[in-house]
C-alpha cells in the first residue's frame, strides 16, 4: 500500500524539493501551504494540494483524517528580523501552528514527524563546526521558537509515542529560492549578477556560513522519514541531526565563487555590518552520516552554477 506523506510549506523553496523527493520515492504526497510566501508553480505535478494555514482548524482536521504516515513540517515564519520586530507573530506561526499540527497528528495516528529546525540559529555564537550537543543560546525570537519547537516534539514523543525527528539545517541554497527577498544570499547574489548590479557585502565580508544544496536537504528529509531512531538520552538533541557540509565559506569567497559559476564579473560594494549577525557558523553532520546514512553530495561550485541557471531562466 502506498504510504501517505504530508509536506507543510510544500509550495516553498525547500518544501517543494522535499515533496519532489517523496514523490520520487513512490509516496502519495499532499502539499499544505497557505501561499503567503510559497508559489503555486513550485507544487510538484502528482502532489495533491491543500491551500490551508497550518494553524487553522481546517488544517488540524485534514491532518487528523488524512491517514498520513509521515508529516514533514516546513511551513514557518523564517525571517529573523521579523521575529525581532514582532516576536508574538513569530510564536504564533512557529509554535502555535506546530501545536495545532501535532494535535491533529496525535488524533490521526501519524507515525513520524520530520521537523525543519535550524543549525544557524539554535546554537548562537559558537566556534564551528558545531555538533548537536553544543550549548544552545539563540540570539533571536526565531531561534528560540525553533528550539522550543524541538522541545515540544520531544515532549509529544514521550507522552504520546509520536516519532519525531528534528533536522537542523545550515544555510540552504539552490533553485526556487526567492531571489527578490532579503533572505538567501546565494539567490540574491545570483539575481544581482543577472541584472548586472553590484553585490552588497555587509561588514568586511569575512563572516562565514555553511552552504548546503537544497536537493541534499530534501534527501535528508526522505531518509529521516524511515531511519531507525536513537533511544532517548534525556536531552532534546537525541533525535536532532545537523544537515550541512561542515565547510565554512566567507561572504567574500561566496561572491567570488558565485561570479565564477555565473561567468559574470562581480562588482562588490561594502555596507556597514549588521547588528547581531553571527561571525561564523558551520555544523558537524557526522551524526546524520552515521544514523541516517546522509552525506552532502553536491559541491558548492556545482550548486551555485545550478542556482544561477535557474535564476537566469526566471522572468525578471
Which residues on neighbouring strands pair with residue 29, listed in sequence order? 5
Kindly report the number of other CB atoms within 10 A of residue 278's CB atom.
Answer: 16
Kindly report the number of other CB atoms within 10 A of residue 17's CB atom.
Answer: 26
Q: Provide the grid cell at 234.
A: 534525556
Question: Active-site residue 202, yes or no?
Answer: no
Q: For residues 72 and 140, what is the distance between their CA atoms, to the nearest angstrom?
A: 24
Q: Which of 142, 211, 213, 308 is catalytic?
A: 142
If phi over 0 gives left and psi between -120 and 50 gives alpha, with beta otherwise, what is residue 234? left
21 and 218 Cβ atoms separated by less than 8 Å: yes
Q: Provide the grid cell at 28.
A: 502519495
214 and 172 Cβ atoms separated by less than 8 Å: yes
Pairing mode of beta strands 249-250, 208-209: antiparallel
Tell me which residues are annotated as active site.
142
Amino acid at each position: 500500500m502506498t504510504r501517505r506523506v504530508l509536506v507543510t510549506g510544500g509550495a516553498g523553496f525547500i518544501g517543494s524539493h522535499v515533496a519532489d523527493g517523496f514523490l520520487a520515492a513512490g509516496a502519495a504526497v499532499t502539499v499544505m501551504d497557505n501561499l503567503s510566501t510559497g508559489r503555486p508553480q513550485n507544487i510538484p505535478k502528482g502532489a495533491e494540494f491543500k491551500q490551508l494555514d497550518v494553524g487553522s482548524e481546517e488544517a488540524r482536521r485534514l491532518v487528523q483524517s488524512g491517514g498520513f504516515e509521515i508529516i514533514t513540517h516546513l511551513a514557518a515564519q523564517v525571517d529573523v528580523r521579523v521575529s525581532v520586530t514582532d516576536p508574538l507573530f513569530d510564536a504564533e506561526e512557529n509554535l502555535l501552528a506546530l501545536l495545532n499540527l501535532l494535535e491533529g497528528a496525535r488524533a490521526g495516528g501519524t507515525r513520524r514527524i520530520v521537523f525543519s529546525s535550524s543549525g544557524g540559529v539554535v546554537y548562537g555564537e559558537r566556534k564551528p563546526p558545531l555538533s548537536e550537543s553544543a550549548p544552545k543560546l539563540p540570539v533571536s525570537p526565531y531561534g528560540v521558537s525553533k528550539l522550543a519547537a524541538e522541545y515540544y516534539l520531544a515532549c509529544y514523543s514521550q507522552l504520546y509515542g509520536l516519532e519525531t525527528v528534528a533536522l537542523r539545517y545550515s544555510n540552504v541554497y539552490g533553485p526556487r529560492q526567492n531571489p527578490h527577498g532579503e533572505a538567501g544570499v546565494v539567490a540574491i547574489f545570483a539575481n544581482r549578477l543577472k541584472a548586472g548590479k553590484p553585490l552588497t557585502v555587509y561588514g568586511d565580508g569575512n563572516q562565514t556560513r555553511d552552504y548546503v544544496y537544497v536537493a541534499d536537504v530534501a534527501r535528508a528529509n526522505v531518509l529521516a522519514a524511515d531511519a531507525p531512531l536513537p533511544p532517548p538520552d534525556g536531552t532534546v538533541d537525541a533525535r536532532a541531526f545537523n544537515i550541512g557540509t561542515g565547510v565554512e565559506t566567507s561572504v567574500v569567497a561566496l561572491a567570488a565563487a558565485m561570479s565564477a559559476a555565473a561567468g559574470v564579473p562581480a562588482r562588490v560594494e561594502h555596507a556597514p555590518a549588521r547588528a547581531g549577525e553571527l561571525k561564523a557558523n558551520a555544523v558537524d553532520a557526522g551524526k546524520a552520516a552515521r544514523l541516517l546514512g546522509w552525506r552532502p553530495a553536491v559541491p558548492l561550485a556545482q550548486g551555485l552554477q545550478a542556482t544561477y541557471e535557474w535564476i537566469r531562466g526566471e522572468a525578471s
